[in-house]
Amino acid sequence: MKELKEYIRSIPDFPEKGIIFRDVTSVLQDADALKLSIDELAKRLEGVDFDVIAGAESRGFIFGAPLAYVMHKPFVPIRKKGKLPCETVEKTYDLEYGTATIEMHKDAVKKGEKVVLLDDLIATGGTMKAAAELVEELGGEVVKMLFLIELSDLNGREVLKDYDVDSVVQFEGK
């Protein structure tokens, strides 16, 4: 079987010239790659004491829900503003060009629960930092942040330096 990095498609000059887009759809379209990605994420949670997995919209759902299934843990979606039907907490954070707002249901994380945050990719760390602040606002504790892909040159780990951050595959460059 190939290594996971070999399944990730690299698309030059997308969304703009000079950027290499790391595409996880090629992982999703291959049963071996998808299984390998979930298995590799699960390995990184061995020995971690946690109660719930929370994933950021939308690719954090794609990898977080099957990982929660494998680990026999509940899954909490972290959504874009306006997508959740019950009472929420929200956090606005900066993007390269503008801002974004994410939300969680107020009852999604209970006081004292230990949470693993998951997304497909860490770049600048802004989304996960905001997600961690939501968990903490609800009284939860972020015990690990987990990513399938890390773009190491964008220094997301520095933004998340107060957390235990792990990634399966690392790429240099933008």
> Which residues are designated catalytic?
59, 96
* Residue 85 DSSP class: S
- SS3 (DSSP) at 9: strand
Q: Can you tell me the distance from the alpha carbon of 28 to that of 137, in angstroms, rounded to the nearest whole number? A: 33
Tokens of 77: 């979606």
Helical ranges in the chain per DSSP H = 4-7, 25-28, 31-43, 59-71, 126-137, 156-159
Q: How far apart are CA 140 and CA 55, in angstroms?
A: 15
How far is 81 from 37, CA to CA, in rounded Å? Answer: 28
The CA angle 86-99-67, to the nearest 5 degrees, is 55
